[in-house]
Amino acid sequence: MAQRTVTVASRVGLHARPAMIFTQAVAESGVPVTIAREGGEPVDAGSILFVMGLGVPHGEAVTLAADGPDADRVLDELVTLLATDLDAPEAGAPAAGATP
């Protein structure tokens, strides 16, 4: 079983938008992935309810695990995703209330 540990970069942790983006990426990968807080039980990383239920705050490390021929590739992609602030404004997009 392949495993990766990553620190959650999103400002709100794994809640709302970041959790949705993460769980969609897991579902689209087609690989069963689990996620766990340090010392906690792993949960299905494809379930937004389970992921949000973990209550992972910004800056906390989580462990991802997967099995199968594409596990390493999928975990590497998910680590990159979680290491990104998924709440940050998109590059080049105007800030809220800004006029072009």
Task: Indicate which residue of 15, 33, 75, 78 is catalytic.
Answer: 15
**Catalytic residue list contains 15:** yes
Determine whether 95 is exposed, middle or buried from the number of CB atoms within 10 Å of its CB (0-12, 13-18, 19+).
Answer: exposed
Which sequence positions are flagged as catalytic?
15
